[in-house]
Amino acid sequence: MSQDDTPDPYADPLVFGQRLQILRTRRGLTREQLGGLLGRTGSWAKGLETGRLKTPKLEVILAIAEVLRVRDLADLTGSQTVHIDLFAGPGHPRLAGVRAAVDAFPIALRQEAPPTAHLRARLDRAWRARHRAPNHREVLGGLLPDLIRDAQAAVQQADRAVERRAAQAVLSETYSLCQFFVAYQPDAPLLWRVAERGLIAAQESEDPRAIGVAAWLAAQAHRDSGPSHFEAADSVALAGLAYLEPLLPDASDGVLAIAGALVFEAGYTAARRKETGTAWRHWDRARTMAERLPADFYDPITSFSRAIMGAHAVTVAVELHAGGESVRQAAAADALTIPSRPRRARHRIEEARGYQLDGQPDVALATLDKAHEAAPETIKYNGYAKRIVLEETESKISARRRRASELAVKMGLLAA
């Protein structure tokens, strides 16, 4: 191995500090950046890496794992006795079938493609099914393979340019639906293939909404890859927004909604950077755009709507690590106005993060119970929820520890 190569933390038994240094370097963070994201200093991070400071408590380890987006806690701790996936789910049973459909080379499809209008109706039904289902990945995993193959065939068999562009728009949205299934599963390369193909199909479609949706999802993929990808997340989101802005004065509700969603994405990334003023400025602009939409409008892909802005405010406050503000925004938001079960569960998780930041772990656990009730698959794949639950299984208060352990069993983190 050359001096420039990054060691493999799995090749040899390494101590905690060595693993931390390797994983931090792979995320493109300096010690000062890591320390700052954890409310510490670069000297503190160096002390952990060099062994000057002893291995921290579980609470701190989980915070480090969150910042570094560690998939398996054993990657950081070195313990091979307990493997806990944090920012990746366990891998859905239908993942292999979806992956096979994405990876197939559709050069000579023999089946006759359904009409684009038929595919559009199937997509609409799939989005509705996703929002209604507590086990939304199971539902999507059953629908996606045929949708992907049929949408690819529709593009190949389109005779006229206008038909081909319409088919590309449907194909792009099919990849968007697929990204919701693939996200947080243990196959990051597949996620990027899906995101990139969605962008290409959207560009070929020349459809403003398809282009905006693909940019929105690509921005999320970049941001979820860690701080070294935040600039790329901003670049994609702001480029998509710049493309849409000239269309907004006369835009349809669907185009206005995706533009508003892109504005909020920029605010979300700013909050991850701890840029308070920029984050709230973007949120306020997104809220103004939401108010232009009908009161009962709810975007089936982005969830952008008047109803979602309260949930978005909670997310901004949580990402800024403002516990009191998070709780205040949670009290103002109305989760029951969110018609989507997975999105409502995600909001409950963000509320729980706020309560945890505010020093209210019992309320956080109760809120995670509500998230589990709304959509068990959402909480099962959410790293933030897992972190809270695991942290509280070590609580010194027996009732809290018992409640956290019961929830951990329901989420599949601990054996019954």
Looking at residue 10, its pLDDT comes to 44
For tokens 């599949």, what's the residue?
Answer: 412
CB count within 10 Å of CB 72 equals 16
Q: What's the CATH number of domain 16-77, 1.10.3720.10, 1.10.260.40, 3.20.20.100, 3.40.50.2000? A: 1.10.260.40
pLDDT per residue of the chain (416 residues) written in tens, 0 to 9: 334 444 444 444 568 888 888 888 888 888 988 888 888 899 999 999 988 888 888 778 888 887 887 777 777 887 655 556 665 666 899 999 999 999 998 776 667 899 999 999 999 999 999 999 999 999 999 999 999 999 999 999 999 999 999 999 999 999 999 999 999 888 889 999 999 999 999 999 999 999 999 999 999 999 988 888 999 999 999 999 999 999 999 999 999 999 999 999 999 999 999 999 999 999 999 999 999 999 999 999 999 999 999 999 999 999 999 999 999 999 998 877 899 999 999 999 999 999 999 999 999 999 999 999 999 999 988 989 988 998 898 899 999 999 999 999 998 877 65
Residue 98's contacts (CB-CB under 8 Å, 6 or more residues apart) are 141, 144, 145, 148, 178, 181, 182
Helices (H), 245-397: 253-272, 276-290, 309-319, 323-332, 341-357, 361-374, 376-380, 383-392
CB count within 10 Å of CB 66 equals 17
CB 370 within 8 A of CB 346: no
CB 152 within 8 A of CB 171: yes
CB count within 10 Å of CB 177 equals 23
Rounded to whole angstroms, how far apart are CA atoms 61 and 80? 16
Q: Which of 305, 299, 391 is nearest to 352 (CA)?
A: 391
Rounded to whole angstroms, how far apart are CA atoms 262 and 219? 9
Looking at residue 241, its pLDDT comes to 97
Looking at residue 75, its pLDDT comes to 79
Rounded to whole angstroms, how far apart are CA atoms 164 and 159? 7
CB 350 within 8 A of CB 386: no
264, two tokens: 């909020």
CB 267 within 8 A of CB 282: yes
Rounded to whole angstroms, how far apart are CA atoms 246 and 36? 39
CB 88 within 8 A of CB 71: yes
Is residue 415 classed exposed, middle or buried when 0-12, 13-18 and 19+ CB atoms within 10 A define those classes?
Answer: exposed
Q: Which of 170, 219, 183 is nearest to 95 (CA)?
A: 183
Which phi and psi (to 5°) does residue 321 adopt?
60, 35
For the chain, the domains span: 16-77, 307-416
For tokens 């978005």, what's the residue?
Answer: 312
Bridge partner residues of 85 (DSSP)? 72
Looking at residue 19, its pLDDT comes to 84
Length of the chain in terms of residues written: 416
Looking at residue 80, its pLDDT comes to 56
Rounded to whole angstroms, how far apart are CA atoms 354 and 401? 19
Rounded to whole angstroms, how far apart are CA atoms 261 and 404? 34
**What's the DSSP call for residue 68?**
T
Looking at residue 4, its pLDDT comes to 43
Looking at residue 136, its pLDDT comes to 93
DSSP string covering 177-188, please? Answer: HHHHHHTTSS-H
Q: Which of 210, 219, 292, 221 is nearest to 258 (CA)?
A: 210
